Amino acid sequence: MRVAVAQPASTDDVAANLAEIARLSEEAAGLGAEVVLFPEYATYEKKRLDETFARAAQPLDGPVCAELASTARRHGITLVAGVVEASPAPDRPYNTLAAFSPDGTLAAAYRKIHLFDAQGQRESDFISPAPSAEPVTFDAGGVTFGLMTCYDLRFPELAAALAEAGAQVLALGASWVPGELKTQQWRTLSAARAIDNAVFVAGSCQAPPISIGSSLIIDPQGDVLALLGPDPGVVVADLDLARIASTRLEFPVVEQRRIPSSRP
- Helices 14-30/63-75 angle, 10° precision: 20
Pick the residue with more confidence: 253 or 69?
A: 69
Contact 113, 147 (CB under 8 A): no
Q: Is 150 a catalytic residue?
A: yes
Q: CB count, 10 Å around CB of 122?
A: 13
Q: What is the pLDDT of residues 67-98, one digit of tens each?
A: 999 999 999 999 999 999 999 999 999 999 99
Catalytic residue, from 20, 67, 112, 123: name it.
112
**Residue 8: pLDDT above 70?**
yes
Domain boundaries, the chain: 2-255
Domain over 2-255 is classified CATH 3.60.110.10: yes
Among residues 34, 85, 123, 150, the one annotated as catalytic is: 150
> What is the tens place of the pLDDT at every residue in 215-236?
999 999 999 999 999 999 999 9
Range 33-48 average pLDDT: 97
Give the pLDDT mean for 50-56: 97
Mean pLDDT of 50-62: 97
- Give the active site residue among 40, 67, 85, 123: 40
Percent of the chain with pLDDT over 90: 95
Nearest alpha carbon to residue 228 among 170, 176, 160: 176
Q: 112 catalytic, yes or no?
A: yes
Nearest 10 degrees: CA dihedral of 242, 248, 254, 256?
Answer: 160
Question: CA-to-CA distance for 137 and 66, rounded, in angstroms?
Answer: 21
- Residue 263 pLDDT level (bands cut at 50, 70, 90): low
Confidence of residue 258 (pLDDT cuts 50, 70, 90): confident
